[in-house]
């Protein structure tokens, strides 16, 4: 697992492991990362079933489902590889 996107996903995901609701603005400030990068990571984690969006815009929390972080990153890496 190397590269900018997997690391970005890890940084955002690790902020969510407490299960509480988090504001994307706050995560962006804590990580000193652009808001659009954090929004991309949040959307990716939501699409993979690892996180869920809140009722208010810009809120996210860890989804209590069975999705694993490693599996989500593998799909990212496999989609980034050029076809042979």
CATH number of 4-76: 1.10.10.10
Strands 59-62 and 22-23: antiparallel
The yes-or-no verdict on residue 1 having pLDDT over 60 is no
CA gap 40, 8 in Å, rounded = 9
pTM score of the predicted model: 0.79
CA gap 29, 34 in Å, rounded = 8
Q: What is the pLDDT of residue 23?
A: 96
Q: What is the pLDDT of residue 59?
A: 94
The yes-or-no verdict on residue 2 having pLDDT over 50 is yes
In the chain, % of residues over pLDDT 70: 85
User: Are 59 and 21 a contacting pair, CB within 8 Å?
Assistant: yes
- List the domain boundaries for the chain: 4-76
Tell which wins on pLDDT, 68 or 57. 57
Tell which wins on pLDDT, 50 or 70. 50
């Amino acid at each position: 697992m190397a590269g900018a996107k997997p690391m970005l996903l890890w940084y955002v995901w690790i902020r969510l492991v407490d299960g509480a609701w988090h504001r994307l603005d706050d995560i962006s400030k804590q990580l000193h990362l652009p808001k659009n990068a954090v929004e991309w990571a949040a959307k990716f984690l939501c699409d993979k079933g690892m996180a869920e969006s809140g009722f208010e815009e810009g809120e996210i929390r860890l989804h209590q489902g069975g999705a694993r972080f490693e599996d989500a990153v593998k799909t990212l890496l496999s989609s980034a590889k050029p076809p042979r």
